[in-house]
């Protein structure tokens, strides 16, 4: 119990005691001075008791309003933090693929992004006194959501572990405010690796959408794309496109690149596809070619991709 609450309790007891004393003495002889003194003391104690109660109620109301504001501010901080993390990943990818003369500028941008990241982390700590329990629960949820089960999807032990994980996450979500609960739910969407693994288990292949832009150097004529054409997909660099899923024909000509079909950064998307396929190089077949619009330089196509294990077994 805080000192303020103790003082309120003492004032309440003193006021009640004073009233009881005045009532008990009312049957006897009380001078006008004593009566006036009792009245003054009763007024002072009652006024003080009421003032402290009002102050306590106002403080609780203020903290509740501040809590709502803090939750909104913290949610925005988390959104900024997510974008910063994506920026850092893309910068790291670019640093590995760009020419040496561009590395200096990328290093500066990386340092700036890290500084912003630290600022966001510091901003979260500013609200720890107000919504510390909410921050702790959300951090635990994010750690659990980031856990990746290494077993294959058909492993029977995976379902049990996944169920326990989901139950723990839901338990923590229930302790969050409605705003942060919504944020945690949005963030908790299935990761690309699990999505692709589930699609492979169900269909035996992945269908990915790609495109070709006539402005790209070394690109094969997009008009030659045809349904049923065999292609090869490789994770690599092509001109200014770094660590992208490149599509090649049987003669090794560059045909196009795949579009990120997930909500994750492209680097996570391409890594997840390669993990699902069992290799960074795998085979596929063009199953659809969209008619290019007259005012567009891009031609879109769809490819049915087969995991390396399936191709090897068919041979």
The per-residue pLDDT for range 52-77, each reduced to its tens digit, is: 767 766 767 777 777 777 777 777 77
131 and 180 in contact (C-beta within 8 Å)? no
pLDDT class for 95, splitting at 50, 70, 90?
low
pLDDT at 301 over 80: yes
Same domain, 217 and 184: no
Report the chain's terminal Cα–Cα distance, integer Å: 76
pLDDT at 312 over 50: no
pLDDT of residue 156: 45
113 and 88 in contact (C-beta within 8 Å)? yes
For residue 13, the enclosing domain spans 3-65
Mapped onto helix, strand or coil, the DSSP state of residue 111 is helix
What lies within 8 Å, CB to CB, of 196 at 6+ separation is: 206, 272, 273, 275, 276
Which helix (DSSP H) or strand (DSSP E) does residue 254 occupy? Answer: strand 254-258
pLDDT class for 186, splitting at 50, 70, 90?
low
pLDDT class for 79, splitting at 50, 70, 90?
confident
CATH for 233? 3.30.70.2330
Domains in the chain, number? 3
Same domain, 174 and 240: no
Same domain, 57 and 166: no
Mean pLDDT value of segment 80-98 = 69
Same domain, 49 and 154: no
pLDDT of residue 174: 87
pLDDT class for 153, splitting at 50, 70, 90?
very low
CA angle 172, 155, 209 (to 5 degrees): 85
In a domain, 74, yes or no: no
User: CA 197 to CA 277: how far, in whole Å?
Assistant: 9
The CA distances from residue 125 to 83, 91, 185, in Å, are: 19, 27, 23
Same domain, 208 and 237: yes
Of 191, 213, 240, which residue sits at a domain end? Answer: 191
pLDDT class for 181, splitting at 50, 70, 90?
confident
Same domain, 215 and 254: yes
Same domain, 177 and 234: no
pLDDT of residue 193: 76
pLDDT at 35 over 50: yes
Same domain, 104 and 186: yes
pLDDT at 149 over 80: no
- Quick one: what percent of the chain has pLDDT higher than 90? 18
What residues pair up with 210 in beta bridges, in sequence order? 258, 301
User: CA 91 to CA 112: how far, in whole Å?
Assistant: 11
Mean pLDDT value of segment 35-43 = 67
What lies within 8 Å, CB to CB, of 135 at 6+ separation is: 74, 124, 127, 128
219 and 256 in contact (C-beta within 8 Å)? yes
Interhelix angle 3-25/32-97, nearest 10 degrees = 160
In a domain, 78, yes or no: no
Cα 100 versus chain centre, distance? 34
In a domain, 131, yes or no: yes
pLDDT at 133 over 70: yes
Looking from the CA of 159 toward its CB, the CA atoms found within 13 Å total: 4
Same domain, 223 and 129: no
Highest mean pLDDT of the ranges 25-34, 147-156, 250-259? 250-259
Interhelix angle 128-145/32-97, nearest 10 degrees = 40
pLDDT of residue 98: 55
Same domain, 7 and 27: yes
In a domain, 303, yes or no: yes
Same domain, 206 and 244: yes
Same domain, 153 and 242: no
In a domain, 80, yes or no: no
pLDDT of residue 34: 62
Q: Which residue's structure tokens are 């996450």?
A: 169
User: CA 244 to CA 254: how far, in whole Å?
Assistant: 12
In a domain, 214, yes or no: yes
């Amino acid at each position: 119990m805080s000192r303020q609450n103790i003082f309120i309790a003492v004032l309440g007891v003193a006021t009640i005691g004073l009233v009881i004393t005045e009532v008990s003495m009312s049957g006897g002889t009380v001078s006008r001075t004593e009566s006036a003194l009792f009245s003054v003391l009763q007024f002072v104690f009652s006024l003080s008791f009421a003032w402290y109660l009002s102050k306590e109620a106002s403080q609780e109301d203020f903290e509740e309003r501040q809590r709502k504001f803090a939750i909104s501010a913290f949610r925005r901080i988390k959104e900024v933090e997510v974008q910063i993390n994506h920026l850092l990943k893309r910068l790291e990818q670019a640093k590995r693929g760009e020419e040496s003369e561009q590395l200096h500028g990328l290093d500066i941008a990386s340092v700036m992004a890290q500084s912003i990241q630290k600022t966001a982390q510091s901003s979260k700590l500013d609200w720890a006194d107000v919504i510390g329990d909410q921050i702790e629960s959300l951090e635990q949820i994010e750690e659990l959501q980031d856990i990746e089960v290494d077993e294959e999807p058909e492993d029977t032990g995976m379902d049990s572990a996944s169920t326990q994980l989901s139950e723990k996450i839901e338990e923590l979500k229930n302790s969050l405010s409605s705003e942060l609960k919504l944020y945690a739910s949005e963030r908790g969407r299935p990761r690309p690796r699990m999505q692709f693994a589930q699609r492979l288990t169900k269909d035996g292949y992945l269908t990915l959408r790609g495109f070709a832009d006539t402005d790209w150097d070394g690109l094969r004529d997009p008009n030659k794309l045809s349904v049923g054409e065999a292609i090869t997909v490789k994770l690599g660099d092509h001109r200014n496109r770094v660590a992208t899923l490149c599509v090649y024909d049987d003669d090794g000509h560059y045909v196009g690149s795949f579009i990120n079909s997930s909500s994750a950064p492209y680097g996570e998307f391409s890594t997840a596809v390669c993990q699902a396929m069992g290799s960074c190089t795998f085979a596929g077949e063009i199953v659809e070619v969209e008619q290019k619009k007259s005012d567009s330089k891009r031609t879109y196509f769809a490819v049915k991709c087969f995991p390396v294990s399936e191709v090897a077994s068919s041979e």
